[in-house]
Structures are given as C-alpha cells and as structure tokens.
Amino acid sequence: MEPPHEPYRPHVEVSRRRPWVVGVSGASGTPYAASVLRALLSAGEAVDLVVSRASRLTLLDETGISFRDAHWREDLGRWLARGADGTPDAFEPGVDVADVRHWAAGDLAAGPSSGSYDVKGMLIVPASTACVAGVALGLSKDLLQRSASVTLKERRPLVVAVREAPLSGQTLRHLVALDEAGAVVVPASPAFYAGATHIQDLVDFVAGRVLDAAGVPHKLYRRWEGELRGGTGDA
Ligand SMILES: Cc1cc2nc3c(=O)[nH]c(=O)nc-3n(C[C@H](O)[C@H](O)[C@H](O)COP(=O)(O)O)c2cc1C
C-alpha cells in the first residue's frame, strides 16, 4: 500500500538580515557612495554592495584605490576611511564593514538578482547616464542593472543619484521613466544652505538627501529650520 502523502510544509527560512542594496556605477562621485555606505552602516543597516566594472575606473581616478573582487573587504575599508578631500584616514578608527556582503557585478546568479531575495530596497549612488538608461529600459546588462529592475518590479524603494552635466534630452526622458516607475531621482547636486565649509560637507549633503529619500535616519547635514542666516552659516 502507498504511504499517505506528507502534509505540505512550505520552506520558510527565518532570516533577520534585510539589507539595502547599494549599487555604485561609473559616474563621477565615488565620495558620495562612501558617505552613503558609512551612514548606512552607522545606522545599523546591512548592505549588499554591487560595484560596476566602470566604477572601478572612477574609484581609481578619484581615490587611487583599485577595487578588487578578491580583496573587496580590504579595498572597501580603505575607501570608506578616506575623506572627500583625499585624507586617507579621515574616518579612523575606521568603519566596521562586517555587515557588508559584496556581489561581483557580473554575477547574475547573486542574491539581489531575484525578487525572492529579501532586501529593503536599492540606492544607486552615483548613477551614470548609462546606468539610468539601462534601468529605464530594463536592460539588466549586469548585476547592478538587474538588481534595480528587480527593485522596481517588486515595488521596493529605488533611489537614483544621477551625476552628469549637462543632461541630454535622452537622459531626461529616462529619468522621467524612472520617476514614473516609482524610483526617486536625487540629482547629485549639493546645496549651500546647510553651512558647508568643507568638501566633505557638500558630499554629505547629497548622501543625506539620498538617505532621506530611502527613509534612513542620519546626521549627515544640518536641516533647514526656516531662518535665513545672512551668510554666517551659524546654527
Ligand atoms: C573618470 C570618469 C568619469 C566619468 N564620469 C561620468 C559621469 O559623471 N556621469 C556619467 O554618466 N558617466 C561618467 N563616466 C562614463 C561612465 O563610466 C560610462 O558611461 C560607463 O559605461 C558607465 O557604466 P556603468 O553604468 O555600468 O557603471 C565617467 C567615466 C570615467 C572614466
């Protein structure tokens, strides 16, 4: 006699880690990415990091750091310790990168390439116009673009910090498409009302606006409180 069927037991995995995917594409602005990453980690957020192939050139150009998949933790540690003005250990004793998971840009079998991989959402910082186009058109040419398309189809928060000047009509149309698809477009354009005195302040302002769009608490810039300061920058 056939044994009775086992009752159906869905495989429910209890996992408490729910990261933000941070995609770094090849636009100028790797200090923006570093500031966002530091702030997410200090806020206790887990991070899944995807660094596009092109962004390794901008990172090398802007910081002198070669980002290597095989030594990503060491390279990331150096990158996050570096100030926007080039000071190598501006953030010593350093940022704890223990809760960062790195996925290679070509790994289309990585966790974030599937909607069933649980994440809070995705921040692309900085976003190149090529990346903006790829996500707007759903190209999924690499893991970064695939993760962004997955984020949109799953109706999760997607923040796109585009960096280019001037913007072509084509890019503007792609940005409208992203906005209509539910993404928040945050141009990497610092403001001067928050009392910036150093390059790091300007970088942190942009990073702070990216985190505002994602709803992550931070203290990266001084918020406007409704009073003109007459150029003193005083609080
Ligand atoms: C030093 C350097 C700076 C760049 N800056 C920008 C930029 O600010 N914005 C942009 O859209 N592309 C910029 N690019 C071009 C992109 O890297 C290029 O379009 C690349 O294909 C983007 O690929 P990705 O989106 O896969 O990272 C820059 C390239 C280099 C080498």
Domains defined for the chain, CATH in brackets: 20-214 (3.40.50.1950)
CA 51 – CA 104 distance, rounded (Å) = 7
Q: Which residue has the higher pLDDT, 113 or 10?
A: 113
CA of 58, closest atom in ligand 1? 1
Residue 212 above 60 pLDDT? yes
Cα(first)–Cα(last) distance of the chain, in Å? 82
Q: How would you classify the pairing of strands 47-51 and 158-162?
A: unpaired
Question: Which of 53, 55, 58 best tests ligand 1's pocket when mutated (most atoms within 8 Å of CB)?
Answer: 58
**pLDDT tens digits for range 151-191:** 999 999 999 999 999 999 999 999 999 999 999 999 999 99
CA 35 – CA 147 distance, rounded (Å) = 21
Separation of 28 CA from ligand 1 center, angstroms?
7
Nearest to 153 by CA among 175, 185, 182: 182
**pLDDT tens digits for range 45-79:** 999 999 999 999 999 999 999 999 999 999 999 99
